[in-house]
């Protein structure tokens, strides 16, 4: 059975890029006689808002994209993600990270005041030494749980045998290369288990056969493939699609306040206009 999903985070209004992704997933499900699921990825309660979730449902209805089955909200499944984190911890592939962003940037050789948007994730700096860790734990310092790629590689006998079938922009068999993102945070100091692990658990729980999403998540797929191997979960087929660009050539993003679907609707754009623009 062909099962795919649209999995937005309710952190702002959806824009054309989301509409493109949702339409691709919906149309693929319909063409295959399969299912199109909606999953609300709201693990990050510091950024997610109910009003954005309500708007997402309105936007999808406006676009004419009918979903199958109930909406799944990640905030209602925290216990499952925590259980997976506990399982990984017992396998010895996670470590505590007490470092602040500033410390991580210093480790990476970047001055934090320079405002450089460098992604500090790839410079996790490895596990703390045991004495230091014990001291910090005793002092009640908050910490994140990171995936140790070296421990995961030892556990799995390397990553070269981990692959997935890609049907998107760069089709073929892809081998997992999780090193690009380094030892990623799977459990955050503030929210606990986050998107990277929640999404893997949910794709398996919902029987997702095809993950259709933007090519900006292709590196994350490598890490998610490692998690599937560690947790004994199936690997879906992936279709990473191109990203839509704003007139200035930058990719559309909520952060840069790309025009929302609600705003398009208000100025009289119809779903048919949008389909024409996006799919020609
Ligand atoms: N929640 C993610 C986002 O909005 C999508 C993740 C996915 O499709 O796997 O970017």
Structural domain spans, the chain: 1-76+245-280, 77-200
pLDDT the model gives residue 119 = 52
State in words which class domain 1-76+245-280 has: alpha beta
Instruction: Give the model's pLDDT for residue 245.
Output: 87
Of ligand 1's atoms, which has the minimum distance to the CA of residue 216?
A: 10
Q: Ligand 1 test: best mutation among 3, 40, 41, 253, most atoms within 8 Å of CB? A: 41
**Ligand 1 atom 2, closest CA:** 8
Check pocket membership of 210 for ligand 1, CB cut-off 6 A: no
Q: Is 7 in the pocket of ligand 1 (CB under 6 A)?
A: yes
Q: Under 8 Å CB-to-CB from 67, ≥6 apart: which residues?
A: 6, 36, 37, 38, 60
Atom in ligand 1 nearest the alpha carbon of residue 5 = 8
Specify whether the CB–CB gap between 23 and 261 falls below 8 A: no
Ligand 1 neighbour 240 (Cβ under 6 A):
no
Specify burial of residue 265 (Cβ count, 10 A radius: 0-12, 13-18, 19+).
Answer: middle
Q: Which of 7, 10, 12, 237 to mutate to test the pocket of ligand 1 (most atoms within 8 A of CB)?
A: 7
Q: At what angle do helices 218-231 and 78-91 cross, to 10 degrees?
A: 70
- The closest-lying atom of ligand 1 relative to the alpha carbon of residue 203 is 9
pLDDT reported for residue 111: 61
Q: Residue 14 in contact with residue 55, Cβ under 8 Å?
A: yes
pLDDT truncated to tens, each residue of the chain (280 aa)? 999 999 999 999 999 999 999 999 999 999 999 999 999 999 999 999 999 999 999 999 999 999 999 999 999 999 999 999 999 999 999 999 998 878 887 777 766 555 444 455 566 788 999 999 999 999 999 999 999 999 999 999 999 999 999 999 899 999 999 998 889 999 999 999 999 999 999 999 999 999 999 999 999 999 999 999 999 999 999 999 999 988 788 888 777 778 899 999 999 999 999 999 999 8
Determine the pLDDT at residue 118.
46
**pTM (whole model) above 0.85:** yes
Alpha carbon of 59 to ligand 1 centroid (Å): 17
Q: Is residue 41 within 6 Å of ligand 1 at its C-beta?
A: yes
d(CA 130, CA 200): 30
State residue 276 phi and psi, 5-degree precision.
Answer: -60, -45
Q: Is 9 in the pocket of ligand 1 (CB under 6 A)?
A: yes
Query: What fold is seen in the domain 77-200?
Result: 3.90.800
Closest CA to 234 of 1, 67, 30: 1
Residue nearest to atom 6 of ligand 1 (CA): 7
CA distance 41 to 235: 19
Q: Is residue 203 within 8 Å of 89, Cβ to Cβ?
A: no
Residue 84, H or E segment: helix 78-91
Q: Is 15 helix (H, G, I), strand (E, B) or coil?
A: strand
Question: Rounded to the nearest whole angstrom, what is the distance from the C-alpha of residue 212 to the centroid of ligand 1?
Answer: 10
């Amino acid at each position: 059975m062909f099962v795919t999903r649209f999995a937005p985070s309710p952190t702002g209004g959806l824009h054309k890029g989301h509409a493109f992704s949702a339409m691709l997933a919906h149309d693929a499900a319909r063409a295959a006689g399969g299912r199109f699921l909606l999953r609300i990825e709201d693990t990050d309660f510091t950024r997610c808002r109910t009003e954005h979730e309500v708007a997402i449902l309105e936007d999808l209805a406006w676009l004419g994209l009918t979903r199958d089955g109930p909406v799944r909200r990640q905030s209602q499944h925290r216990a499952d993600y925590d259980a997976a984190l506990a399982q990984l911890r017992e396998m010895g592939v996670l470590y505590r990270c007490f470092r602040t962003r500033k410390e991580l940037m210093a480790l990476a050789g970047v001055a934090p005041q320079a405002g450089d948007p460098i992604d500090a994730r790839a410079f996790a700096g490895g596990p703390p030494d045991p004495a230091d860790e014990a001291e910090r734990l005793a002092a009640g310092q908050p910490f994140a749980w990171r995936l140790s790629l070296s421990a995961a590689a030892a556990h799995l006998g390397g990553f070269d045998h981990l692959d997935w079938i890609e049907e998107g922009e760069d089709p073929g068999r892809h081998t997992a290369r999780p090193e690009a993102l380094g030892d990623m945070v799977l459990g955050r100091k503030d929210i606990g288990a986050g998107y990277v692990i929640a999404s893997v658990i949910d794709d398996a729980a919902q029987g997702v056969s095809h993950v259709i999403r933007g090519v900006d998540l292709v590196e994350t797929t490598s890490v998610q493939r490692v998690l599937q191997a560690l947790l004994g979960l199936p690997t879906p087929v992936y279709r990473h699609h191109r990203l839509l660009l704003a007139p200035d050539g930058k990719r559309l993003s909520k952060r840069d306040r790309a025009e929302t679907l609600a705003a398009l609707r208000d100025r009289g754009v119809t779903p048919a206009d949008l389909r024409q623009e996006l799919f020609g």
